[in-house]
Amino acid sequence: MSITTQPRKRRKEDRPAELMTAALGLFVEKGFAATRLEDVALCAGVSKGTLYLYFDSKEALFKSVIQEGVVPVLVEGEGIAARHEGNAFELLEKLLANWWAGIGETNFAGIPKLMVAEARNFPEVAQFYYENVIRRGRALLGSALERGMASGEFARLDVETTIDVVIAPVLMLFIWRYSLAGCQSTPADPRQYMAIHLSLLRAGLKGSQV
């Protein structure tokens, strides 16, 4: 009939996402252990018990947050790579920009910090994250680097390690934002940070020919 939001029915379907959003916000803010489920519930506007209608335990909630939160972001990047036709460095730029834009505006940007902090306490989750996010993201970057090396646009370097070096400053950008940002220890202007990172890469990766 009207737009009035059948509050009951709609809730049922949206609840898990609402809860995971609330949980993500607190997990990236305080870490897993220091986050109280009561606060997650409060933050989502429900009671403590409601969490257990959708998640078996605090740990299960944590896993879900990680597992649901990050995979979609990579799909977009894979699409960009598939459609790209210009040179390799332009692809790199696009990928990094997209990654930064797509994640950087949301709390998903806090997941790297969260994984870094909790990987050892949740080996299963770390394994999942490695298989489904890290490995896939690296493959994406690696294909761009190899494209450039094949065409002579980039110098020949060890690809795997170059991926590490290329990706590290972007990860740190996100990590800083969720850790020491309060101490003004973070790049004041992320755009400039990315620009310099890319300018270093442009010159640093350059191969023998154009």
Partner DNA sequence: AATGAATGAGGCTTCATTCAT
Partner DNA sequence: AATGAATGAAGCCTCATTCAT
- Tell me how far apart the alpha carbons of residues 45 and 153 are, in angstroms, rounded to a whole number: 53
Q: Is 58 in the site for DNA (CB under 7 A)?
A: yes
Question: Amino acid identity of 207?
Answer: G
Q: Which does 116 bind (CB under 5 to 8 A by kind): DNA, a second copy, none?
A: a second copy
Find the helix packing angle between 58-83 and 7-30, rounded to 10°. 90
Closest approach, Cβ 73 to a second copy, in A, equals 17
Q: Does 6 bind DNA (CB under 7 A)?
A: yes
- 20-49 mask for DNA (x: CB under 7 A)? ---------------xxxx--x----xxxx
> Which residue's entry shows tokens 């699409």?
79
Part of the chain binding a second copy (CB under 8 A), chosen from 39-47, 57-65, 87-95, 199-207: 199-207
Rounded-to-10 torsion of CA 120, 125, 127, 131 = -140
- We find the least distance from the C-beta atom of residue 5 to DNA, in angstroms, to be 9
d(CA 203, CA 176): 25
Largest CA distance in the chain: 67
Minimum Å gap between C-beta 21 and a second copy is: 19
Q: How far apart (Å, rounded) are the C-alpha atoms in residues 174 and 170? A: 7
**How many residues does the structure list for the chain?**
210
* String marking each residue 161-180 x if it binds a second copy according to CB under 8 A: xx-xx--xx-xxx-x--xxx
Phi first, then psi: what are they for 150, rounded to 5°? -65, -40
Q: Which residues bind a second copy (CB under 8 A)?
A: 29-31, 33-34, 113, 115-121, 123, 126-127, 129-130, 134-135, 157-158, 160-162, 164-165, 168-169, 171-173, 175, 178-180, 182-185, 187-189, 192-193, 196-197, 199-206
Q: Which residues bind DNA (CB under 7 A)?
A: 6-9, 11-12, 15, 35-38, 41, 46-53, 56-59
